[in-house]
């Protein structure tokens, strides 16, 4: 699980910054399990490389950018189930919010594993337009769930008082 609370606050500008949000997600997902996954280890190796380059080239630490963070999140969510929670998305500036929602939608659609995305926001047409879910988006999942539940109920004789014909 990775969680981030967004806030449009001048005392904490990172709370509405796309880089900060994604970097926080990367950190949390990398250390979510008891032992690091292959993607997490690759992330740690990249971090060590950055640290050594920083010592050689300059005194400033370099942090992963947006594209790198998306790549890391994508790699980590490909290997295991993950849940990402973004609280108060409406607090992120419109242009940055658009980039964040696009990145999350891309990761969600392309991930080989299940990525659960939970977003809270005040009612905002621009957010609803970007991340609305239609029944077709969940159709396959719902069909599989209903089929599984009916099969289970049939096996346990809990459907139609246990009198289910073979035709059903």
| DSSP per-residue string spanning 17-51 | -HHHHHHHHHHHHHTSSSS--HHHHHHHHHHHHHH
The 3-state DSSP class for residue 66 equals: helix
pLDDT at res. 4:
95
pLDDT at res. 105:
83
Q: Is the pLDDT of residue 89 over 70?
A: yes
pLDDT at res. 84:
93
Pairing mode, strands 115-119 and 2-5:
unpaired
Q: What is the pLDDT of residues 15-40, one digit of tens each?
A: 999 899 999 999 898 877 655 555 56
The 3-state DSSP class for residue 111 equals: coil
* 153 burial type by CB count under 10 A (0-12 exposed, 13-18 middle, 19+ buried): middle
């Amino acid at each position: 699980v990775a969680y981030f609370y967004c806030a449009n606050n001048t005392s904490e500008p990172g709370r509405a910054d796309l880089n900060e949000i994604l970097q926080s997600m990367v950190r949390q997902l990398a250390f979510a399990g008891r032992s690091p996954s292959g993607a997490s280890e690759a992330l740690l190796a990249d971090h060590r490389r950055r640290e050594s380059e920083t010592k050689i080239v300059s005194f400033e630490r370099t942090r992963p950018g947006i594209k790198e963070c998306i790549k890391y999140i994508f790699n980590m969510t490909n290997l295991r189930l993950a849940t990402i929670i973004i609280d108060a998305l409406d607090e992120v500036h419109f242009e940055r919010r658009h980039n964040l929602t696009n990145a999350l939608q891309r990761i969600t659609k392309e991930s080989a594993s299940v990525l659960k995305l939970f977003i809270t926001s005040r009612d905002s047409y621009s957010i609803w337009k970007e991340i609305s879910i239609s029944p077709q988006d969940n159709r396959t999942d719902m069909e599989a769930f209903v089929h599984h539940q009916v099969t289970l109920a049939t096996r346990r004789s809990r459907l139609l008082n246990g009198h289910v014909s073979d035709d059903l």
